Each structure stands twice: as structure tokens, then as C-alpha cells.
Chain A
């Protein structure tokens, strides 16, 4: 079974609008962390935001927020006021505390295109 599922291969949004990128995860470990990375066409993976499984509040970093719904096992990324520079691939990833706890498991990504 997929540990990280991103169901949107591609998304389009108008500049200045908000967009939500979906991510669901599968784990039986009570302790885990969820990450979002941005990969522009240059190829580098850029860390955006982190949510711990025990965090009481949803994580926010500037225009990025994570809509964490633990019971539904979803960790959607919300980008507010989209900018042209937000056009990129976005990856959701998870690290589980047990076992090989240093590994990040990635989803297949969502390609976001911001239109002017």
C-alpha cells in the first residue's frame, strides 16, 4: 500500500488565489512527521513546512499552511495568494519514528501551475 498518496497529478491556480494540494498518508506508528517540499524546474528540493503527529496546532510558514486532519490521515498544503514563482512540483513526505526513522517516504507529487 502507498504510504503517501497525492491524488492530484496537476493543479492550476490563478495568481493571487489560494490553492490546496492534497496529501493522505498511511501509518500505524503513533509518532510521525509530515513534510512538504517544493521542487522548481531547477531540480532542487526546497523544504516548506513540517507537522508533527503530536502537534496540537496546524503548522504555518508564511503563505504556507498545513491542514492537518489526523483522524482522516490527511495533511493538505494550502498556499495563499499564489505567485507565479510558486509554479513547481510539490511533494508530501512522511517520516515514521519507528524502524528506519531517518527515511522520508515521498508521494509522487503534484505539479502546480500558477497562471497570470
Chain B
């Protein structure tokens, strides 16, 4: 597609439920990133996928968070047993190999997650 697509754009869930957030990167972009933006904060790195390499999961805040990327394209971020502190905007981004890009990433519009 023309840009990075994320769905849903908004999600309200009850505490303790599981949620799945989807990201469809720009076609041909081999790198995919998830960031989290909490109210009044900058962006916090969560996870990075690059081609067939093992993902960098170092930013995932707890074992309730997981992500996968199928076929080198679409990615799903899963949060199990959601807590109120998980409420945030989850941003996905994609890029070409970072070495060739001075443009950082192309971001999607994000999923606003509210845990009630």
C-alpha cells in the first residue's frame, strides 16, 4: 500500500482481556518497528523486525506483550491480560534497510488502546 496501515484505529477493552493490534507496512519495506506512546511521553521502542532475522524484542515491557510478523509483511502485536497502564497509542513504522535511509521510518497513524 501507499502508507503504513494500522488497525483498529481505536480499541477499548476491559482489564484482563487480550488484544491484537495489526500493522500492514509499506510494500517492499523489510524493517518493521513497534513503538508505544503514552500520554505526555515520547515514543518508547518495543520491537523490531528485519527480514528473516530474529526480532529485537528488548523493548517489550513484560511477557504479556508479544509480536509476530508473518511472511515478512503484516505484523501483529498482542497484549495479553491487559492492564490499565497498557493504555497508550501503539505506533507501527516501516523502513527500507536502515543503512540506505536517512528518513527514519514511515509511521502509521497508530492504534489508540484504552483499557477500562
Contacts and interface: CB of A to CB of B under 8 A. Distances in A.
Interface residues on A, range: 20 to 34
A35 interface: yes
A103 B108 CA distance: 17
Interface string B15-31: 00000000000000001
A35 B58 CA distance: 22
Interface in A69-116: 91, 93, 95, 100-109
A62 to B, nearest CB: 15
Interface of B: 31, 33, 35, 40-43, 45, 48, 50, 56, 58, 89, 91, 93, 98, 102-110, 112
Interface of A: 4, 33, 35, 37, 42-47, 50, 52, 91, 93, 95, 100-109
A91 to B, nearest CB: 6
Given A4-B42, A104-B43, A44 B110 contact: yes
A31 B107 CA distance: 24
A42 B91 CA distance: 12
